[in-house]
Amino acid sequence: MHAPLQQAITEAFLHAEQARRAHNSAAAFAWLERAHILTQRRPLLHAKSHWLMLTLGWQQRDYREVAGQLPRMIAALLASRIWVPVGNTGRARGSAFRPMPVPEELHRLLHHAKHAPPRP
């Protein structure tokens, strides 16, 4: 994986965990949404973003989020390499099928990773 993209994904998951531990669910979800956008084409990491949203929803007793994340995790594992709604933040409050605008910073990371030469 392209190093800057890998670093951004690692940071997003790390900051989400730090926010969760600080009981800042809004920040944790924001970091997980970022991780979701960055990992949409990587099935295991994509599923991880949904798993962490599910666990955060569980901790918040947001059962709509929990129920919405279950099918999204399965779809992430089965369909990530075939089709994803680009830019979708992955939350259960929105359509799982709706493409969304990709923030410019994330767009640059994804574009550079897509066109980077393969690593040895």
**Residue 117 domain flag:** no
Q: What is the dihedral of CA 101, 103, 109, 112, to 10 degrees?
A: 50
Percent pLDDT > 70 in the chain is: 93
Q: Is residue 115 part of a domain?
A: no
Domain count, the chain: 1
pLDDT for position 119? 46
More confident residue, 48 or 117: 48
Query: For residue 103, is it within any domain?
Result: yes
Residue 101 has pLDDT above 60, yes or no: yes
Confirm whether 118 is domain-assigned: no
Q: What is the dihedral of CA 25, 58, 34, 17, to 10 degrees?
A: 60
Burial class of residue 101, CB neighbours in 10 A (0-12, 13-18, 19+): exposed
**93 within a domain of the structure (yes/no):** yes
pLDDT in tens, 82-99: 888 888 999 998 888 888
**pTM score:** 0.88
Residue 68 lies in domain: 3-110
- If you average pLDDT over residues 112-116, what whole number do you get? 63
Distance, in Å, from the CA atom of 50 to the CA atom of 44, rounded to the nearest integer, reads 10
Output 14 or 99, whichever has higher pLDDT: 14
- The mean pLDDT value of the chain amounts to 91
